[in-house]
A and B are shown apart, each in its own frame.
Chain A
């Protein structure tokens, strides 16, 4: 008994094809794409943008979570924050447009198509919401970090001021000495002049220090402001989302109760069918009747599938749970589509 394994060859062919596809050498026959509606195309675009924004957000998270005092890149972070903020805003707008589009074409489409597009929209929104949530988290982390850094810097900068500017300290002492000298030794005007000089230089240095600190604080204030405004914007997005969730509430409740009912029924049916299956498998006549087995198997499989999804539903107790589930399911559909 000899045989030959061609799997390796098959896999290498697959790999070659894949690389070729990445290089864009092969243009897939795109006729199924043409049939897709405008809706799916928009949805697809939004999905892609979402993914892009997610990657950016990831980058930002990495940057923001860095705790080092010296390797801080405020400019980059700020830029990224800005970009992401804009992205989220535009995505939000796009989704709103998509929703409008769906509303607009309500009459033309069938019921199933309608529900499908609704789920797609909702799933996209939920993704966006997730992302803005993440974004918010990242910003919070960043603020926290900044605070931390500030306190640390304050700690260090005080001691720094002591150690790093001995001249100022020295000069102050000196000036005190000079003063003493002046008071006690009855020094000349030249001494006074010197003292004055010293005083002015001290003042200048202090001024410089204050200036530095000023710009830094201004910087900080700006950052804070931008973060604040971002959070406000996010807040508005969230309120929008809340609104949408509220819209769905009733349906979700219905789904919830329906699912519970179904689960009960299915459990009963499952038991019955298991009984039947056992009796069938022990029956020899089965051998002659493959269609029967086939049907049973199919049925069992369906039951199992429903069963599984039921468990998923019942697993999440909160009201928004099933909704989320619905969204992810819709998302799967979308994935299949694209």
Chain B
């Protein structure tokens, strides 16, 4: 149950299958990111793949001495492009790998195009998703819903992605879905359909306990992507933005040229792998340790007196260079994070955010929000966070003052577009679209838990919030997840304690949830959980997602509300 490993295996198998000799890797837009997430270029270069090309790029040169490994998604355009490519073959031999099931028709089209008999293999390798970390995958679909329902393309892509995850991990799961969500049900049904259609593919050795695929909807928990984050990975994503494990630092003042775009990949960066789930304070300490280590190393390099010293130096120099790269990278990133935190007073904002979500006192919270909004120091976007959280939390509270807060936002000069998001998020993830008890006010047990927690006091005010997913999975592992809210698709039901769980969040997951899965994986032995989503959100991308999801809705529902205010 390691998605990175799965994709890696696929790619190395591809490269091995074509035998020795110089190779070119031909990819499309999606597979490029799939490959780049798991393999560094230098690693692939070692396997005699010297050239990387995009299938859709024009003007590639003819190089008949190269073997071509084509790894593409089985879309119509790709098949057409491949057919063209085969008619005017630029490389010596072609090994074609599709990242998903391809229709007979398309195989025929390719066969027809293979005039020059250059195709050696046509295979399906089910690596149709982007593996972010061993237990986290994404499909990189931004804005999967329209009018609060699936857009057709996204549904097809999600189904393909999800089935390819199942195939690559060799799991034929029982499917549970969130009952309150139409989108989750449709996806579940589509996945089931695909499994039935390709039954031959899904014939794996039966395990004792069947794996479970749990399909959730982001709308059930709109709070998690709104919150400010304090673990390294999540923070970087929230404040700077990670795209395919690359971050863009070109906006950082005084950045040197080679650090404008850096790669943060747990596969190739030990420090990052160890610290991606540490919180901001720990990172500070760890980075100091790293610095110290680096300093002692660099000092030891200063004294070079004898030939043997030189020899040693030369041997260690690459490692040293690598380390210095890592150090400068992380120091820059953390420096930027801390600069942003101080500049925008994120600590204060975050404390209030956590309190809104986890505490119950309405009037005090409203007061605090008002004072913060009135103060000059925080960003518009953070004000928006607070108001959105407030709106979600106290949607049904008798004295709620959402309109007052939105008014306050207007006075502070927050743009129309952003203010509209407050209502959009209520439409998206408001009470009527939620199936579960997000804030834990109805259940007696959770109220007592909350009360106890209040009595004990919290360790860290900035990380009080636990995503809903955490409690859901906890229940699922204990076998307490309610049948009514999360029914099985089909008749068979799981009696035992589940072992392998694959969670898919429609509308995108977050790094906070990935962290929750990470801790769950660690704390519960024998249970392996993988989480995936249509994308991995930070607040900005979530705003876009919400905006798009609400956009196509019938105007009777949304329109008047906006005009009224």
Is B63's beta carbon under 8 Å from chain A? yes
A interface footprint on B116-140 (CB within 8 Å = 1, 0 otherwise): 0101111111100000000000000
Task: Given A13-B111, A301-B65, verify A6-B123 contact (CB < 8 Å).
Answer: yes
Q: Does B470 contact A (CB under 8 A)?
A: no
Determine if A2 is an interface residue (Cβ-Cβ < 8 Å). Answer: yes
| Interface bits B320-360 vs A (CB < 8 Å: 1, else 0) | 01000000000000000000000000000000000000000
Q: How far is the CA of A13 from the CA of B104 in the complex (A)?
A: 9
* A17 pairs with B111, CB closer than 8 A: yes
B42 contacts which of A1, A17, A287 (Cβ < 8 Å)? Answer: A287
Residues of B within 8 A of A14 (CB): 111, 114, 117
In the assembled complex, B45 has its CB within 8 A of some CB on chain A: yes
A2, chain B: closest CB distance, angstroms: 5
Interface segment among A118-126, A242-250, A291-299: the answer is A291-299
Cα A297 to Cα B42 with chains together (Å): 16
Asked if A10 is at the interface of the complex by the 8 Å CB criterion, the answer is yes
Tell me the minimal C-beta distance from A273 to chain B in angstroms.
15
Within 8 Å by CB of A10, from B65, B111, B170, lies: B111
User: Is residue B489 contacting chain A, with contact meaning CB distance below 8 A?
Assistant: no
A297 lies within 8 A of B111 (CB): no
CB–CB B125/A3 < 8 A: yes
Complex interface: chain A residues within 8 A of B124 (CB): 3-6
Task: Name, among A1, A284, A294, A298, the residue most crowded by chain B CB atoms within 10 Å (CB to CB).
Answer: A1
Count CB-based A-B contacts (< 8 Å): 76
Q: Does B214 contact A (CB under 8 A)?
A: no
Q: A13-B111, A290-B51, A290-B52 are in contact. Are A1 and B122 (CB under 8 A)?
A: no
Considering the chains assembled together, what is the distance between the CA atoms of A14 and B10 in angstroms?
26
> Is there an interface contact between A1 and B170, defined as CB atoms closer than 8 Å?
yes
Please give the distance in Å from B554's CB to the nearest CB on chain A: 43
B108 interface neighbour in A3, A13, A294, A304, Cβ under 8 Å:
A13
When the two chains form their complex, are residues B50 and A3 in contact, meaning their CB atoms are under 8 A apart?
Answer: no
A189 CB to nearest B CB, Å: 94
Contacts of B65 in A (CB 8 A): 301, 304
Q: B63's contact among A9, A10, A293, A298, by CB below 8 Å, is which?
A: A298
Contact B6 A1 (CB under 8 A): yes
State which of A10, A287, A294, A298 has its C-beta within 8 Å of the C-beta of B119.
Answer: A10
Complex Cα spacing A287 to B52, Å: 12
Q: Does A7 contact B (CB under 8 A)?
A: yes
A contact residues around B318 at 8 Å (CB): 284
Q: A1-B9, A2-B167, A10-B107 are in contact. Are A298 and B61 (CB under 8 A)?
A: yes
- List, in ascending order, chain A residues with CB within 8 A of B45's CB: 287
Contacts of A298 in B (CB 8 A): 61, 63
Confirm or deny: B182 has a beta carbon within 8 angstroms of a beta carbon on chain A: no
A284 to B9, CA, bound (A): 26
Q: Is B112 an interface residue (CB 8 A)?
A: yes
A3 engages B126 (CB within 8 Å): yes
Q: Which of A3, A13, A284, A287 has a CB less than 8 Å from the CB of B107?
A: A13
Other-chain contact of B10, A1, A10, A287, A297 (Cβ < 8 Å): A1
CB interface residues, A 222-259, toward B, < 8 Å: none
Contact B50–A287 (Cβ < 8 Å): no
Nearest CB in chain A to that of B102: its residue: A6
Give bound CA distance, A10 to B111, whole Å: 6
Tell me whether A301 and B63 are in contact (CB under 8 A).
Answer: yes
Chain B CB count within 10 A is highest, among A6, A7, A14, for A6
Q: Would A297 and B107 count as touching, CB distance under 8 A?
A: no
A332 CB to closest chain B CB (Å) equals 13
Q: Interface readout for A1-42 with B: 1 if CB under 8 Å, 0 if not?
A: 111111101110110010000000000000000000000000
B168 contacts the other chain (CB 8 A): yes
A3 adjacent to B10 (CB under 8 Å)? yes
Considering the chains assembled together, what is the distance between the CA atoms of A226 and B167 in angstroms? 76
B193: chain A residues within 8 A (beta carbon): none
Rounded to whole angstroms, the CA-CA distance of A9 and B122 in the bound complex is 9
Is B41 engaged at the interface, CB distance under 8 Å to the other chain?
Answer: yes
B residues in contact with A304, CB < 8 Å: 65
Please tell me if the beta carbons of B123 and A7 are within 8 angstroms of each other in the complex: yes
Q: Give the contacts of A286-317 with B (CB-CB under 8 A).
A: 287, 290, 293-294, 297-298, 301, 304
Q: Which chain A residue lies CB-closest to B40?
A: A287
- List the B side residues contacting A287 at CB < 8 Å: 41-42, 45
Closest chain-A Cβ to B291's Cβ sits at a distance in Å of: 24
Contact: A290 with B111, CB < 8 Å?
A: no
Using Cβ atoms and an 8 Å threshold, which residues of chain A touch B6?
1
Cα distance A77–B167 in the bound complex, in angstroms: 67
What are 6 residue pairs bridging A and B, where the CB atoms are less than 8 Å apart in the complex?
Answer: A1-B9, A4-B201, A6-B123, A298-B61, A298-B63, A301-B63
Q: 19 new A-B pairs (CB below 8 Å) besides A3-B125, A10-B107?
A: A1-B9, A2-B126, A3-B10, A3-B124, A4-B123, A4-B124, A5-B121, A5-B122, A6-B123, A7-B120, A7-B123, A9-B104, A9-B107, A10-B110, A10-B122, A14-B111, A287-B42, A287-B45, A290-B41
**For the complex of A and B, 3 pairs with smallest distance between CB atoms:** A13-B111, A10-B122, A4-B124
